[in-house]
Amino acid sequence: MAAAGLTITDVRKQYLRFSTPYQMITEQVIYLGGTRRPRSVQDLQAGRLEVMAGSSHQRTLEVLKKRYPKLEWQALDLDIETLLQRIEAKQSNYTVTDSNQFATLRRFYPRLKIAFDLTEPEPLAWAFSKNHDATLYKEAEKFFQHIRQNRILDQLLDQYYGHVDALGYVDIFTFHRHVKERLPKYRAYFEQAARQFGWDWRLLAAIAYQESHWNNNAKSPTGVRGIMMLTLQTAKHIRTKNRLDPKQSIPGAARYLAQIKARIPARIAEPDRTWLTLAAYNIGFGHLEDARVLTQSTGGNPDRWIDVKKHLPLLTQKKWYSKVKHGYALGHEPVRYVENVRNYYDLLVRLTDGPISRKKQMPNRTTIPGRPKAKMPETTPAAL
């Protein structure tokens, strides 16, 4: 069997047996922002187009060439990320990638943009040889039926794609600038606090960036202050005397996060446990519990972030907040908060570990962003 983001094509169906699709994608043309945007296949003839050799993208171009005889491309034995890097370096003009791949990579290459969809939506599935009996194929079908019914598939898709569109072009460029200009001043404090309280220092740094953009003198209209934007009440609770002192506020926030996480029911697994912790850090543990109550009352799973984040915004509506203990809350804010932190965390992991294409192994960073574990192969829904 093969599980590698394979699209179901007529050619492949001749010699492969495909499972039930698990995701729909489109093939997209990618170009460098600030240069001439191609708006059709005919426009691709004016630049250098590179694709992965032997890919479905190459097959698509071969079909299109029958309609556009002047269409030319280079089929290279390179992965998609290297092809994107070549566009950014102006070594080529265009490439073709699957929409799910670019959705996760575009944060790391914010200058690259989608020109247009090259195909209609296509299904991704697992592939099996037709030369063997159907035993394994039937077991795979049972597996897909199970993960659909139990919403495990929805959870996986949210884990890898649910937050990737939260940041805009300006957000990402500003972040990269602040990584160079501001982060070095505080990195040692994040690393020390992470070791002390069992966190990944990059997650603490991502939280701090979402809170203050690593501005130690930050202050909000409501009176929260410092790099971790602690309230006066929280600072007293964690015995942080000076919120403007990063030596105090960063470990104080790390301690407070650990306290919140300890209150999350032990049955809740990662990564939901961490995302719920972040939501509570932003909106308060009581309001998070209210959202979990609403989630359960409407048939959702209160232990899954994918369900809870849909119900947090209901806390702004009297119809719903009147039914719970802690009342009204700006429920949209923790949803944006968690998604932004997840993005900043991914970016920091990327900057410290390097591009996936340059490493044989990467930590499964989207699974458990706590204390760093032994490195494991990167896992995505393409290889479920």
Cite the active site residues. 211
Residue 143: CB atoms within 10 A of its CB come to: 15
Name beta bridge partners: 96.
Answer: 29
CA distances from 249 to 193, 225, 257, 284, 342 (A): 10, 10, 12, 18, 21
Q: What is the DSSP string of 187-246?
A: HHHHHHHHHHHTB-HHHHHHHHHHHHSS-TT-B-TTS-BTTTTB-HHHHHHTT-S-TT-H
Paired sense of beta strands 74-76 and 27-32, if any: unpaired
Angle among Cα 155, 159, 165 to the nearest 5 degrees reads: 120
Rounded CA-CA distance 268/271 in Å is: 9
Q: Give phi and psi for 192, each to the nearest 5.
A: -65, -45
As to burial, measured by CB atoms within 10 angstroms (0-12 exposed, 13-18 middle, 19+ buried), residue 180 is: exposed
Residue 68: CB atoms within 10 A of its CB come to: 14
Contact 70, 45 (CB under 8 A): yes
